[in-house]
Structure 1
Amino acid sequence: MYRKKALLIILYCFSHTIESQVLLKFDPDEVLLFAESQYEKAINQLKIENGMPRNGHSDGSWNQKPIEDWTSGFFPGTLWYLYENSKNEKWLKAAQKWTAPLEPLKLFNKHHDIGFMVYCSYGNGYRLTQNKNYKEIILQTSNTLATRYRPTTKTILSWGDINEKNPKTHKVIIDNMMNLEMLEWASKNGGSKKFDKISRNHANTTLKNHFRKDFSSYHLVEYNPNTGKVQNKSTVQGFADDSMWSRGQAWGIYGFIMMYRETAIKKYLKTSENLAKTYFESLPIDNIAYWDFNAPNIPNEPRDASSAAIVASACLELFELTEKKMYYNQAISILNELASDKYLAKTDNYSCVLLHSVGYKPINSEVNVNINYADYYFIEALIRLKKLQIKMFKNKQ
């Protein structure tokens, strides 16, 4: 009770430090306690031998996938966040248990997503425990990811076999920006200094080729593997090649503010801000993005809570690094909605947190469902919010 009252005092004081601040309509601690109750149900019923949980259903069950699935790191990553917030040993044990099966991924080179898979799990684990074995796994995974880098295109190959002879194209998706965080961390923590060069080159090439004049993002850019020239631009998981797929836009906002944090290169900050501006201007009144901002049946198109959660977390970092109140306000506007009964999985027997995300609408895959990365970035955003509020409160003393 004391902890809750103390936080409410901090929230009240903090609300007077930013002029015209959007008011927080929920208690982050209460939502995090709800998340704990949901994930306690999940870990009590899931069997680890069935694979990594990807999305939750109304009967409490989850789809479970092999560790090679690109989302495999998000469930254990969420458990690490629950441990960080609560300091409860049960979450430490659960996070350790669900992280351990991912170790073979340190040598997995079939696609670029090992940054998601390993850094969200082992990365958070090392940050919170300083387990030396976790560090070695992250460094080895970074070595593996670096094998997908091609100097000709100055990018990391997203989709495709790195051992293919005479490939006709080199495919790079906007999601790949998120995997650069692991390389940046590794370059500063005992890994090769080339990791930093690789991540900067990839970010620079993405900045040059992935965005339209209005700073909306393509999903996929294909390069000539021999010359590095752009062959084609498309939006595979969006409505159309020239449409703005909302989760892709979210990856760009988050990825470039992360790169600014890691390198202090101002063009990365400017890019994140430009991408965010385009995203904000396209939002409906409730601040939760449609799965694609140009989908044909708006307002009767599915929303994407995962896109919203990613952007909310990124906006808090934008605010922390720029002190521009509009980013705090935008984050709170999104979180207010996600923390409402409309999006929290409080009905039926769900054992997840957020409903109403969209995975791959053009093939009708994971439409209007829970997806583990929505939970992950939502919990991350709540923890970032709490840390930010405490920091600002202390700075005012």
Structure 2
Amino acid sequence: MTSASPTFTSPATEAALAAALLTIRRNVASFPGVFPDDTTVAGRYPLRPARDGIPKGGNQGWTTSFWSGMQWLAWELSGDELFRDSAHIYTVDFARRAQSGEDLDMHDIGFLYSLSSVAEWRLLGSEDARDAGLLAADVLMRRFLEPAGIIQAWGDLEDPDQQGRTIIDSLMNMPLLTWAAEQTGDARYSDAVRRHTAQLREHIIRENDSTFHTFFWNPETGEPLRGSTAQGANDGSSWSRGQAWGVYGFALNYRTTGDERDLEAAWRCADYFLAHLPANLVPYWDLDFGDGDDEPLDSSAGAITACGLLELAEIDPDPIRAERAERAARDMVAALTAHCAPARPEDSDALLLHGVYSLPHGVGVDEGNLWGDYFYLEALARIARPGWKTYW
């Protein structure tokens, strides 16, 4: 891989952070106590739509915690209590959501509560936030399927179309269970992390190191069945955001399990991702596409991968590989800043342009999105503040 941008320097990092914080500050004023939608429309976040009795701007779906997570990060980076106080308002609402069981038929509970309740516990030691995080972890554990040893991804556990399905995104939901194990000493949580991660390591990564988006097991026997996609170009392609979840998710879980096979899985995903980047280092929405293809980019996949590489740089005991991960991550973040950050903060509500939610469904194509914004900010924080501790 060759760099299309100069290695990120400290002044460049600080300038990118300053621009990002300006946008987040403006968005806090625009969305007081309510949630923006998953993606922008023409560069602006609308309010999250009403759904299933949850009002407009309400806490529903899998992406709302990226909004609270950005505010916790903004507080750590700036020291401005405005961000802390706003983030706390959302953490209180996540506790309400967990207690009421509202819109929690999904594995993304890990996303939701790592970047809200767990973040507040880590930063402020809030017992209420800790209680909400542990409650959320128990809700997530209800989705653990024996004998397959996986967390089911979506929907009602009795839905025959969803039974036995997991998706590569699920790796990022495991840190909530790891945290619950640390807090309680209950091995159920850590055993679930170990078994689920092992199943994905063995079955969701193909022999060529690309990944399936989704994989099915027989829910009664635990037999691995087949891989497919819900958002990639086709069942045999490598959806770029899925590959990115593999890089970061296996790295985070190696930190927990200490299993060298998880570290190797993270590198397999990373090496495939890096080998399929275009010249400008911003990935296409599916890694089957490259330079010369008339296809949208997905900046969010680049931001997630950069965070995963920075995690590898921190945890890999091999100094040569760690340095390679650090260099690749910095080059990718520099490319995202050069090619995908708005020229002026006021030009968009998003920190990153040119993201894709789901191209096959025609949702959020060539727009900003909450997760792309969050992971871009996390990557900047990791570069600008060595030693910064993640919420995962």
Normalising by structure 1, what TM-score? Answer: 0.87
Q: Which residue of 1 aligns with 2:93?
A: 101
Judging changes above 3 Å, is the alpha-carbon distance between structure 1 residues 170 and 389 closer, same or farther for their aligned structure 2 residues?
closer
Judging changes above 3 Å, is the alpha-carbon distance between structure 1 residues 97 and 389 closer, same or farther for their aligned structure 2 residues?
closer
Report SS of the residue matched to 1:363: coil
Measure how far apart 1:384 and its partner are: 1.0
Consecutive unaligned residues in structure 1, runs of 5 or more: 1-20, 392-397
Q: Which residue of 2 aligns with 1:136?
A: 131
TM-superposition CA deviations, 1:282-325 (whole Å, max 9, x none): 11111111000114995321111100000111111111112321
Tell which structure's C-alpha radius of gyration is larger.
Answer: 1
Q: Which residue of 1 aligns with 2:354?
A: 356
Q: Which residue of 2 aligns with 1:32?
A: 17
Pairwise mapping of residues 1-40 of structure 1 onto structure 2 (< 5 A)?
Answer: 23-25=7-9, 27-40=12-25
Kept in 1, the 8 Å contact 2:245–2:304? The answer is: yes
Q: Which residue of 2 aligns with 1:206?
A: 200
- 2:302 is equivalent to residue 317 of structure 1: no
Judging changes above 3 Å, is the alpha-carbon distance between structure 1 residues 181 and 143 closer, same or farther for their aligned structure 2 residues?
same
| Corresponding letter in the other structure for 1:55 | T
Q: Which residue of 2 aligns with 1:80?
A: 72
Q: Which residue of 1 aligns with 2:335?
A: 337
TM-superposition CA deviations, 1:117-146 (whole Å, max 9, x none): 111122222211111111111111101100
- 2:216 is equivalent to residue 222 of structure 1: yes
Q: Which residue of 2 aligns with 1:190?
A: 184
Q: Which residue of 2 aligns with 1:279?
A: 273
**Partner Cα distance (1:62, 1:95) in 2:** 19
- 2:120 is equivalent to residue 120 of structure 1: no
Q: 1:111 aligns with which of 92, 101, 106?
A: 106
Kept in 1, the 8 Å contact 2:341–2:352? The answer is: yes
Judging changes above 3 Å, is the alpha-carbon distance between structure 1 residues 265 and 105 closer, same or farther for their aligned structure 2 residues?
farther
Q: Which residue of 2 aligns with 1:371?
A: 369
TM-superposition CA deviations, 1:333-378 (whole Å, max 9, x none): 1111111264336276422211110010011111000000001011
**Partner Cα distance (1:52, 1:125) in 2:** 20
**Partner Cα distance (1:296, 1:339) in 2:** 20
Aligned-residue Cα RMSD (Å) equals 2.3
Measure how far apart 1:152 and its partner are: 1.4
Q: Which residue of 2 aligns with 1:254?
A: 248
Q: Which residue of 2 aligns with 1:263?
A: 257
Q: Which runs of 4 or more aligned residues in structure 1 lie more than 6 Å from their structure 2 counterparts after TM superposition?
A: none
Using the TM superposition, name which of 342-351 and 259-268 deviates more: 342-351
| Corresponding letter in the other structure for 1:113 | D
Q: Which residue of 2 aligns with 1:55?
A: 39
Judging changes above 3 Å, is the alpha-carbon distance between structure 1 residues 389 and 136 closer, same or farther for their aligned structure 2 residues?
closer
**Partner Cα distance (1:222, 1:307) in 2:** 24
Kept in 1, the 8 Å contact 2:312–2:325? The answer is: yes
